[in-house]
Amino acid sequence: NLQDSIASLGDRITDMLIAIDEIGMQYYTDVNNDTQDAIIYHFNYWIILFTGVFDALAWISKYRYQIEFDQMNKIGLRSNSQSDFLELLYQENVNLKEFLRKNSSVINLMYGPRDLVIHRTRLRGLRFDNRNENFHCNMVRIPESFFSQIVSLSKEKGDVLGKWGHYKSNDEYFLEPYRFVKKATPVLIEF
């Protein structure tokens, strides 16, 4: 029901904030295998929560507009796979179509990494030491497609380790999770 979906949304955001705190504590502790494992654990959970927020919003919309749609696994805000649900939603509130289109980069940001974490492999960590730019931190290797999404959203090229935490080196793509979650979470909450 609507109340449960709203409570679920609040719980997911609260858990995201806890995961950010946990990642931050490890970030400031040290760069070693133990902190790396803890960061990856909490980052994987944060990724699932990020997409879960959009799932909760879709269910809130279903209940709010009393949309009859029985394909439970197709209720979502991504335009590529849940278009039947979205078409019914747009019939109820036409303004949502443009709003979701404008925010598709935020909506779609974490579904690729989520699919990796849930269906394939965990994100893999590594200790990254760049003496030229003077940083030493725990990072994760990410696919080029995810890197490109971050570049698009952040407007940072990733040629240096910036505020969003993405970094390209020798045609490999990396992400420092703490910087990333500190930037991506407010974007989600603003949405």
The percentage of residues in the chain with a pLDDT greater than 70, rounded to a whole number, is 95
Does pLDDT of 61 surpass 60? yes
Q: How confident is the model at residue 133 (pLDDT cuts 50, 70, 90)?
A: low
Q: How far apart (Å, rounded) are the C-alpha atoms in residues 21 and 70?
A: 38
Give tens-digit pLDDT for 83-124.
789 999 999 999 999 999 999 999 989 888 888 777 777 777
Does the reported pTM lie above 0.85? yes
- Over residues 14-32, mean pLDDT: 93
pLDDT at 65: 95
